[in-house]
Structure 1
Amino acid sequence: MVDLWTGFSTLIISLYAILSLLIIIGIRRQKTPRPKDNQALPTVSIVIAARNEEQNLPALFFSLKKLDYPLNFLEIILIDDGSTDRTRTIAESQKAEMPHLRVISPEKKYPNLNGKANALHNAILQAKGEIIAITDADCSLPAFWLRAHAEQYDEQTTMVGGITITTNTDDEKRLFYQMQAHDWLYLLGTGSAATEWGFPLSIIGNNMSFRREAYFTVGGYEKIGFSLVEDFALMRALQLDGKHIKLCADKRMLVVSTPSPDLRSFLIQRKRWATGGKDVSLMAKGIIILGSAGKLLPFLLLAAGEFIMGFLTAGVVFLADMFLLKTVRDKLQQRRMMNHAWLYPLFTVFYSLLMVPFFFFGREVKWKGRVYRV
């Protein structure tokens, strides 16, 4: 029995280490494309679906005004998704300074779409840009965000994503917020490396762009249908249609979003991701299973009394995760983000265990004030 445990543990932890190494190599081998002259840039429509975001809009518009992109190639569409606060009023007040801004409401309700996907589809139908860029109302964008997205498009590329992190200055919850930032960094860093190896795994809906023509080629959200993760559903549709997808670890594309304010909302978000992402590729399922097995294995070994093997596997997982986080952090030039990073492996196990009852015993997901059955 001991030999069986040892052999199984060695296999799992070796595969975990190899996977981590491949992710690190994939991130490091990414290249920044050559800059494009203004006249070579595509026309872009930035689309933002906003629902009760009055607290977040000032920071969003501040960053939108700083974007380094020719205004004659740019339009911004903010679609008000049934807000009951001052979202629309605040957005309308920005039009004097931003003549390329349009504030609209959905013209049609598609019965097979959730609220956000319905809003986005309505906005995309009205968009004029060759490229559709999507972000969220609770995000802040770096000045070169849009240019960096546009420069990633070559003849083969159909969809481009960037990495998003969360940040907040609330001292009482700073550790919890840092763990969320590390989680986003780890998950999106893994996804970024996977696209470099030719296996797109994920995209993040507050930091993505795609060709408008390709969107309608796959039928758009109207054909894709209901999903709690409309960003992933669109990526998967494009992937199955043979389109080339990039998820870039590029500091110029690094979006900052607000974190979940408490553990419950964090778990609801992860449940929505997990529920909506059931249709991931076989490769993605293998990576998820291997990653989960690698992180849980040390605890299983220690519980079984295999202390030497338990501590050895824990050490391998810890070092692999730290090197992976450091690689993504360095690529994005976010050195400050390594504070308390050593706690991240424990955090992932902690919330993964909490997700089990949360996932299986709750049949509803509340999102943006709406309730969806899953």
Structure 2
Amino acid sequence: MDITSEQALVDAVKGAGGPLAVQGGGTRGVPVGGQVLSVAGLTGITLYEPGAMTVVAKAGTPVAEIEAALAGENQRLAFEPMDHRALLGTRGTPTIGGVMAANVSGPRRISVGAARDFLLGVRYVDGQGAVVKNGGRVMKNVTGYDLVKLLAGSYGTLGVLSEVSLKVLPKPETHATLILHGLDDAGGVAAMARALGSPFEVTGAAHDPERQETKLRVEGFEASVAYRLGKLREVLGATGAEIDVRDAAASDATWADTRDVAAFHGKDGDVWRVSCKPSDGPAIAARSGAQAWFYDWAGGLIWMLTTTGHDLRQAVGAFDGHATLIRASAESKARLGMFHPEPGGLARLTSKLRAQFDPKGIFNAGLMDHAA
């Protein structure tokens, strides 16, 4: 079903005779059974107030359309959402509803927060076909459930988003990336921690073990960026690494590749996304059995490429975090589960929560049975 209005969405949910596979632009390759319920036709920016730094858009609105409107006012989506298409080999168009439903957050998460932190309000249709509105166009919430935060990252299992309100931020005057060469995993993670612990406002921190490059992004006014780069050189001089700087154009390409996991594009195998304590990252990677990996979020996020069907969770064992299977065959995702198994108490809580929002269990049924 292709939905083009909120009322059509209500009618579709009320009339559903079985499971519904909720879909936005269809770019994330999430394996869900049931009749496809696509909100890609529910499009349009309904309100944009640059002075208040807020934008309201229907869920199927392409991310590129929103970014273009913001660019005209020198503003941006600060959480820099990933484009999954090249990594997953999918088509379609990334939508703002899909970004929020999956809480898609890029490298800047370490400094500005996740996608959900920019979500001010939502309109959605619950499992009984009721339209629910929560939040608004200001950074304030009413008493009761924080439905805005619950919907973000729920992958459409609690309700189908029809509209979102977002906080946006100004674009910086310029930016650059400091590159440290020659550090191993432990050294790279330590250098990133030192940079983030400094007062010099790093907005991106990633480490590429294959190239032995540790990347640190600095954004702001030109004079401030130059000053902070110089200070970071001093702070990191003790690492013994060779240091150079990439200007704004080269920096853009560097972080677009990091955001979209370009290192694994076109390479055979499964792709995992591991969230962990940064200090635990090198040890987790070492016992993962992965063929390749790289670190984002100062080591708190590890992207891993493994052989087809490899059970990375079993190889790594217990750790403080979770591993999500992002790219794999339908058979592997069915066998291993896309999401990390939950502890028993949390699993019962989330099950009860989904039953409250979707009592008939029709939204993306079974998708997050093993969600973290």
Bigger share in helix: 1
Bigger share in strand: 2
Higher relative contact order (CA 8 A, sep 6+): 1
What TM-score comes out, normalization by structure 2 length?
0.24
